[in-house]
Structure 1
Amino acid sequence: MFGALSLVVPSGYSIGALLLLLGGLALPLLRPGLSLSRQDWLVMLVMALYASIFMLMAWLNGDGSREFDRPSRFLLAIPALLLIMGYPPRLSVMWSGFALGAIGAGSWAIWQKLFMGISRASGYTHVIQFGNLSVLLGILCLAGMGWAALQPHRKSWLLLLALGAAMGMIGSLFSGSRGGWVGFPLILFVLYRSYGQVWSTKWKAAAVLAIVVGGGTVFALPQTGVQERVFQGVDDISRYVSGETQNTSLGARFEMWKGASYLIANKPLFGWGENGYKDGIATLAERGAVNPVILQYSHAHNDFIDTFAKRGLVGLTVLLLVYLVPMKLFGEYSRHADLEVRSVAVAGTLLSVAYIDFGLTQTFLGHNSGAMMYAFLLAILWGIHSRHRKQLA
């Protein structure tokens, strides 16, 4: 349910997460033998550290209880992680959930774009969040290909996951969320590094051909809006560099990053907090240091710059830990001989890689959908991966 409903009903990502949380809270009664490893404790530590540091700094800066909401998702995901470790689901359930979620998101995007006449498909959430989470579900489907290759109904599973991958990408393309496209070469590199040695030359050539033909077709068809978004981005950069205007999508981002850099230089260690950031940007705009157009935004449209400005070097370090520690631990098994183990490890690695990409052009964890999806996907994937590690040991 967490994967399948995440983008096709309002706050769909909350439904499966809530059930996982409730199951996790029942663990003291169920008392499964978890046998937590050092790696398990490390993953839970970075999740708890992220939540605790961000909530503590919000309290110290007087940012209000609203800023406790998103970080708290990482604490709430820990009981879910323990539940998955104690009672891991069948992988067929997990992968089919991701595939159905991606197919649903892509279908919803097609309906909004081509039949409802909406210029950028957004589902039930923010347009950038929808597009990036849609492609994330598609990416997870690609990671599951190794598992699918081992199943008795191999062709059916491969077809389902391939369809999920394609529809997840369509959801992103029809949303026009360009930030999710920037890191796609890195996603392909991780997939190739993980699965390249098990693909025949014929399948590698077919994959390259499909990417080239599919990408070219999507770019060429004006109905997709991809070509327009790409040309618009190039034009935004050109007009900003020439000094013609800063009041464009990318131009405003560059101004936000410039303003945040001034604030970082003044308070590099602990940052300005949410309210201090807004006041600081307003002061810079009054002085003419940044374009006043950015006053409509409460964040820097970059997870790393925004965190550095608001939470300082301390907050940035914690943010990097919550991405890089799981990435390293999953990555240790991303080329494992057992394709079932490898598929989950690749999915976990790609989760961090994708979020780092998304965070370059959007404060992705600053939205409830972004925080919820990362925290609970990490709980699900690590819970299963932890069981795999123990079985192998």
Structure 2
Amino acid sequence: MTFTPVLPTGMSAMERGLRYVNSALIFWFFAFLVTGPKNSYATSALLVLSILTLPLSAGHLRTTLKRGAPWMLGIAIYCLYQIARRIVDGGLSAQTDPPARFLGAIPIFIYLARYGFKIEALWAGLVAGCAIGGVAGLQEVIVDGAQRAGVGHHPIAYGSLLGFMGMGCLYAATIYKHMLWRVVLIAAAAMGVIGVLYSGTRGLYPALAACMAYIGYGVLKNRGLSRRTIIAATIGSIALVSTIAWQLPSVQKRAQETLSEYQRISQGNLETSIGHRIQMWHTALFIVSERPVFGLGLDTEKRKALSLDFLKEHHYKPSVLTRYDHLHNLYLNEAAAFGLVGLATLLGLLFGAIHGTSPPFRGAIAVILILIAVEGLSETVLNHNRLTMAFVILVTALRAHSLAAPLRALANKAV
């Protein structure tokens, strides 16, 4: 489905001004997602504006709550449970900042749905983010001689951010009619993929393939091709991209490392990156069996103490649970730390992100969910707070943009 931006009509001077300000802040957030400060001033500004204008949005609050209920409920339940569980585990000194900060997306959603922003600012921000982050990563590896690109982040976190923005750009290229936009978005997507490859994040390789397959399938299906042709073309495209990626020395090196690790694991040696994951995943299942409802919490020493006999029985290294602050699997980590209740709230958050949405932005959210779901099999992807905030802001912005036009129509009708 193609997309052509439509300029809103009947807006007051204040609404137009806020719309331009919102556009600038959305662009700023994504453009400096990789290289900017840990806590973005853009989201802080959006939160302040949302609070200041909340009384002016009260007249449309009922409509906003009704149409945005899945997303707002998903965020609220997930964050409030995270906060409550952390307080129970750590008392008043517990670290509640990340989930508490994500709750700010609710007033931001209400605000953006009422006053809107230019959707081009979001795509331009993703383009700029891929360009800035990608170039910084290339310089770090090619010029500075780093083994893996990170740009101040862990290479996995850096790769996840570039994959997030790159796949967003690739999907946007399929819904725009204007050729210039398509060329720019595809170029940015390519830069994002290159950044991922130079990060050496192996868990992202199948995630990118899944996203590309989904995007390619949608494009070919809209052209009326048969299912068999679509599948063949999708597989061929992924094979072509993989062949091109294989030419990069960093990809070849990671492939050789992976093969070496599998050989060592087959000989019973689990002291490798993949071997550590196997130990953590197995131990996580044990922890869930011992604390199935609310989990054991985030304290790695508690995990080690509870699992010590289990670790010795299976000849695992106890230090594997304290060397990392997570279990390298999104679902097992959530279940072990916060129980099956916590896992349910996480799935509710992901479901709430897409439920009730419509094309063309439904596809953009679906692509990001695929990325998170697949990478989450080998990485605790939402453990990276910057990526989680990017996910929350992207979904909030896209859902709010879809709702902005109906709310403006109601406002004009009331006048």
**What TM-score do you get using the length of structure 1 for normalisation?**
0.87
Aligned partner (choices 291, 295, 305) of residue 279 of structure 1:
305
Preserved CA contact (<8 Å) 1:81 1:380:
yes
Residue 206 (structure 1) shift: 8.9
Task: Indicate if the aligned counterparts of 1:259 and 1:290 stay in contact, CA closer than 8 A.
Answer: no
Provide structure 2 residue ranges, at least 5 long, that are not aligned to the other structure. 1-27, 411-415
Out of 21, 33, 41, which is 2:47 matched to? 21
Question: In structure 1, what is the equivalent of residue 264 of structure 2?
Answer: 239
Aligned to 2:162: 134
Q: Which residue of structure 1 lines up, in the alignment, with residue 190 of structure 2?
A: 166
* Equivalent residues, number: 374
Mapping 1:149-298, distance limit 5 Å:
149=177, 154-199=178-223, 211-222=238-249, 225-243=250-268, 245-275=269-299, 276-281=302-307, 284-285=310-311, 289-294=315-320, 295-298=322-325
Listed one character per residue, the Cα deviations across residues 110-169 of structure 1 (whole Å, up to 9, x for unaligned) are 1111011111000122210110110110100112124421xxxx2211111011100111
The aligned residue for residue 314 of structure 1 is: 341
The equivalent residue for 2:117 is 89
Where 2:30 maps in the other structure, the secondary structure is: coil
Maintained 8 Å contact 1:109/1:170: no
Structure label with greater radius of gyration: 2
Structure 2 equivalent of residue 337 of structure 1 = none
Amino acid at match of 1:75: L
Q: Secondary structure of 2:146's match?
A: coil
- Aligned-partner residue type, residue 5 of structure 1: F
- Worse-matched range after superposition: 367-376 or 125-134: 367-376
Deviation at 1:283, TM superposition (A): 5.7
Distance in 2 separating the partners of 1:215 and 1:392: 47
Query: What's the CA shift for 1:239?
Result: 2.0
Do the aligned partners of residues 157 and 209 (structure 1) sit closer, same or farther apart at CA in structure 2, a change above 3 Å counting? farther
Alignment partner, residue 54 of structure 1: 82
Distance 2:176 2:327 in 1: 40
Aligned alpha-carbon RMSD (Å): 2.7
Displacement of 1:188 in angstroms is 2.3
Distance (Å, rounded) in 1 between the aligned partners of 2:381 and 2:286: 22
Aligned to 2:365: 348
- Tell me whether 1:379 sits opposite 2:396 in the alignment: yes
Aligned to 1:326: 353
Structure 1 residues 236 and 391 mapped into 2: Cα distance closer, same or farther (>3 Å)? Answer: farther
Structure 1 position 116 matched with structure 2 position 140 = no
Amino acid corresponding to residue 20 of structure 1 in structure 2: L
Pairing 1:91-106 to 2, within 5 Å after superposition: 91-106=119-134
**What per-residue deviation string (whole Å, max 9, x for no partner) do you get for residues 251-288 of structure 1?**
10111111111111111111111223343345644666
* Equivalent pair of 2:74/2:345 in contact (CA under 8 Å): yes
**Bigger CA drift: 170-179 or 2-11?**
2-11
- Determine if contact 1:113/1:121 at 8 Å carries over to the other structure: yes
Question: Does the 8 Å CA contact 1:323/1:356 hold for their aligned counterparts?
Answer: no
Matches of 1:363 and 1:257 in 2, distance apart? 11
Structure 1 pair 185–300 and aligned structure 2 pair: CA distance change class (3 A) = same
- In the TM superposition, residue 312 of structure 1 has moved relative to its aligned partner by 0.8
Which residue number in structure 1 is paired with residue 386 of structure 2? 369
Structure 1 residue 366 displacement after superposition: 2.0
2:308 & 2:405 partners in 1: Cα distance? 51
Asked if the contact 1:105–1:134 (Cα under 8 Å) also holds between the matched residues in 2, the reply is yes
Q: Which amino acid aligns with 1:269?
A: V
Residue identity opposite 1:305 in structure 2: L
Change (3 A) 1:389 1:311: farther
Find the aligned partners of 1:29 and 1:389 in 2 and give their Cα distance.
19
Q: Mean Cα displacement is larger for which, 310-319 or 229-238? A: 229-238
The whole-number CA distance in structure 2 between the counterparts of 1:303 and 1:89 is 33
CA contact (8 A) 2:73 2:352 kept: no
Query: How has the CA–CA distance of structure 1 residues 207 and 8 changed in structure 2, closer, same or farther, with 3 Å as cutoff?
Result: farther
Question: Could you say what secondary structure the match of 1:124 adopts?
Answer: coil
Contact 2:71/2:352 (<8 A) preserved: yes
What CA distance in whole angstroms lies between the structure 1 residues aligned with 2:369 and 2:47? 22
Distance 1:298 1:8, change over 3 A: closer
**Is the contact between residue 87 and residue 94 of structure 2 (CA under 8 Å) also seen in structure 1?**
no
